[in-house]
């Protein structure tokens, strides 16, 4: 699928709809938009996906938000976005790219590992501490944040 990926200049409703798929907190999304670089992926004139890349420490960047429009998921777009983020991180001169996801996010854990990420650490009860509502995915309670990294 031919994607055209461009840096986002401003946040509109269509962009927020995608970003909030990955993180229900608008406050957190807004903070990432201020601190990071947001990239939009288009298929023709349709906004298909988005990701936000953030410099977190010297030589380290993190994909802090990544999402594909629901009707376009499972077609390989997410994988292309992760691969594009890896290339951008290399271009920024980073040594490491990181990403975090929930213990119950089976698809995401599969995708990131297929893109070369390895598990680094587990932040136990992260989602219990930071989110008011209980989250269930794939019949599993989302409690722990799994941190993954890829050496560039
Ligand atoms: N279980 C396990 N693996 C699955 C799967 C499933 N249900 N569905 C797809 N995969 C695999 C695919 O087989 C594919 O691997 P392959 O290329 O070897 O076949 C790989 O995952 C990538 O799939 P892809 O189609 O590129 O992913 P996507 O376009 O659906 O995007 C997300 C992935 C996570 C970005 C997308 O599902 C999304 O926006 N989810 C909501 C927001 C979100 O959760 N963001 C991440 C927060 S950490």
Contact 48, 77 (CB under 8 A): yes
Residue count of the chain, please give it.
Answer: 152
According to the model, what pLDDT value does residue 25 have?
85
- Distance between CA atoms of residues 16 and 147, nearest Å: 24
According to the model, what pLDDT value does residue 86 have?
98
Check pLDDT > 90 for residue 11.
no
> In which band, very low, low, confident or very high, does the pLDDT at 137 lie, cut at 50, 70 and 90?
very high
56-72 residue pLDDT tens? 999 999 999 999 999 99
Using the atom order of ligand 1, give the atom closest to the CA of residue 102.
48
Cα(101) to centroid of ligand 1, in Å?
12
80-130 residue pLDDT tens? 999 999 999 999 999 999 999 999 999 999 999 999 999 999 999 999 998
According to the model, what pLDDT value does residue 10 have?
85
Check pLDDT > 80 for residue 30.
yes
- Distance between CA atoms of residues 143 and 139, nearest Å: 12
Q: Where are the domains positioned within the chain?
A: 4-151
Axis-axis angle for helices 77-91, 106-114 (nearest 10): 50
According to the model, what pLDDT value does residue 121 have?
98
- Distance between CA atoms of residues 146 and 140, nearest Å: 14
Residue among 5, 73, 98, 115 to mutate when testing ligand 1 (max atoms within 8 A of CB): 73
- Distance between CA atoms of residues 101 and 80, nearest Å: 18
- Distance between CA atoms of residues 40 and 66, nearest Å: 10
User: What global pTM score does this model have?
Assistant: 0.93
4-151 maps to which CATH number?
3.40.630.30
Residue among 107, 136, 145 to mutate when testing ligand 1 (max atoms within 8 A of CB): 107
Using the atom order of ligand 1, give the atom closest to the CA of residue 108.
34
């Amino acid at each position: 699928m031919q994607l055209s990926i461009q840096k986002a200049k401003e946040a509109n409703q269509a962009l927020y709809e995608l970003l909030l798929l990955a993180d229900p907190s608008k406050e957190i999304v807004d903070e990432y938009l201020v601190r990071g670089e947001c990239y939009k992926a288009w298929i023709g004139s349709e906004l298909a996906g988005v990701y936000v890349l953030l410099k977190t420490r010297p030589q380290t960047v993190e994909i802090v938000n990544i999402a594909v429009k629901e009707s376009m998921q499972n077609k390989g777009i997410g994988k292309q976005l992760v691969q594009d983020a890896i290339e951008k991180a290399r271009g920024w001169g980073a040594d490491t790219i990181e990403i975090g996801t929930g213990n119950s996010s089976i698809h995401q854990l599969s995708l990131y590992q297929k893109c070369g990420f390895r598990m680094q650490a587990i932040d136990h009860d992260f989602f219990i501490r930071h989110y008011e509502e209980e989250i269930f995915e794939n019949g599993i309670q989302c409690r722990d944040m799994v941190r993954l990294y890829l050496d560039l």
